[in-house]
Amino acid sequence: MRVKYWESISDIILDNWMKCTDGDLRFVRIKPDLESEETEEDKNEWYRIYDQYIIKYKLSAMYLKLLKTLQKKALLELEFVKTREQFKLTQLSIEEEKLRMMLNNKGNSMTIEECLIHLSRWLGGSLLNKKTLTAEQYFDLINEYGKFNKTK
């Protein structure tokens, strides 16, 4: 029996999207078998769907900054291995602290569950359900909410 996968960002449900972004790529399957291991096909299907996300929503400025900091950290690590200069370790510590601060974001970021509560209030209705809402619907709502709040 062939495993069936979500076709796109417009049909994968938000709950499965969240589990995939947390690292469990078995949830890119429509009916994940939790007894089975993650496969190479799971990874390929997840990359295909995530590519659709990047094409539609682009990489955020924060994500690009995170990537640049990771790149700088990796280059410092390579330089330290080559030169053994202790100063490189100091620079490396600085970059690691920058990364930690970006990832923690000092409480300024919300979980998807918290966002769903705010979006539900904004829409004036009952709580949005991550098991029925698609990832695309969620990201579109986030974009519209952001546009609405910029005009205020």
Cβ pair 16, 136 in contact under 8 A: no
pLDDT at 6: 97
Q: How many CB atoms lie within 10 A of CB 43?
A: 12
Q: How large is the average pLDDT for residues 136-144?
A: 89
Q: How large is the average pLDDT for residues 8-26?
A: 94
Partnered with residue 29 across adjacent β-strands are: 5
Query: Cα separation of 13 and 139, whole Å?
Result: 12
Co-location of 121 and 98 in the same domain: no
Dihedral angle at the C-alpha atoms of 32, 36, 38, 40, nearest 10 degrees? Answer: -100
3-state secondary structure the chain: CCCCECCCCCCCEHHHHHHHHCCCHHHHECCCCCCCCCCHHHHHHHHHHHHHHHHHHCCCHHHHHHHHHHHHHHHHHHHHHHHCCHHHHHHHHHHHHHHHHHHHHHHCCCCHHHHHHHHHHHHCCCCCCCCCCEHHHHHHHHHHHHHHHHCC
Does 40 reside within a domain? yes
Co-location of 100 and 124 in the same domain: no
Co-location of 48 and 66 in the same domain: no
Co-location of 67 and 90 in the same domain: yes
Does 9 reside within a domain? no
pLDDT at 102: 65
Does 7 reside within a domain? no
Which residue segment(s) compose the domain that 143 sits in?
112-150
Co-location of 116 and 82 in the same domain: no
| pLDDT tens digits, 39-50 | 999 999 999 999
Does 3 reside within a domain? no
Query: Cα separation of 103 and 72, whole Å?
Result: 16
Co-location of 89 and 68 in the same domain: yes
Does 34 reside within a domain? yes
Q: How large is the average pLDDT for residues 67-92?
A: 91
Does 47 reside within a domain? yes
pLDDT of 1 above 90: no
* Domains: count for the chain: 3
- Of 72 and 111, the structure prediction assigns the larger pLDDT to 72
Co-location of 137 and 116 in the same domain: yes
Does 92 reside within a domain? yes
Query: pLDDT-based confidence at 143, cuts 50/70/90?
Result: confident
Does 137 reside within a domain? yes
